[in-house]
Structure 1
Amino acid sequence: MPHSPEEKKRVLARVRRMRGQVEALERALEAGANCAPVLQQIAALRGAANGLMSEVLESHLREQFGQPARTAAERNERISEMTALVRSYLK
């Protein structure tokens, strides 16, 4: 989760743009638009979602690894969490 007010504002703006894209896609589908423009809108949404995921993941990484771990166990726990997040992101 973004931690600074600037990060939060940027992420929320991204989500609002994505909402607009989803609404445009819905209108296109309801209107029976051709496949090519619909596929372009879907690809744009996928790109927007990937950008959002990347930004939130980067913020989380900075938060988790910005300070040294107090113990080896805490370090290993952080690494396991990050590995799981990156794996889920890459699916």
Structure 2
Amino acid sequence: MHTIKDKAKLVARVRRIKGQAEALERALQAELGCADVLMLVASMRGAVNGLTAEVMEDHIRNHIIDPDKEDSPQALGASELIEVLRTYIK
């Protein structure tokens, strides 16, 4: 499975997200201002979206069709879908 192959990279991303969540918790406990809290939330959201995009792209490439290895209308569609996901999930 691709998640096992890329396990170290994915776990590193999750650990960064965990660190961001802990920073957010500390900010809330310290009663930081709304702007600071919102920046931390936005950072976490971006990190989760990046992880989501990576796993979804790998899923398409490994379980549907890899546009880098095929030349077909389906491969073109997969390539377009990957680009749309990258843009949408940002």
TM-score for both structures, normalised by structure 1: 0.68
Structure with bigger gyration radius:
1
Say whether the 8 Å CA contact 1:3–1:59 is kept in structure 2: no
Separation (CA, whole Å) in 1 of partners of 2:61 and 2:29: 42
TM superposition shift of 1:3: 4.1
- Structure 1 segments of 4 or more deviating over 3 A? none
Say whether the 8 Å CA contact 1:25–1:42 is kept in structure 2: yes
Identity fraction in percent: 46
SS of the counterpart of 1:2?
helix
- Choose between structure 1 and 2 for higher RCO, CA contacts under 8 A separated by at least 6 residues: 1
| Mapping of residues 46-85 of structure 1, within 5 Å | 46-64=45-63, 65-66=65-66
Say whether the 8 Å CA contact 1:2–1:8 is kept in structure 2: yes
Aligned residues: 72
TM-score for both structures, normalised by structure 2: 0.68
Structure 2 unaligned spans of 5+: none
Q: Give the counterpart letter for 2:25 in structure 1.
A: E
Q: Deviations over 1:3-61 (max 9, x none)?
A: 42xx2111110000000000000010011001111000000000001000000001101
RMSD over aligned CA atoms reads 2.4
Could you say which residue in structure 2 is the equivalent of 1:25? 24
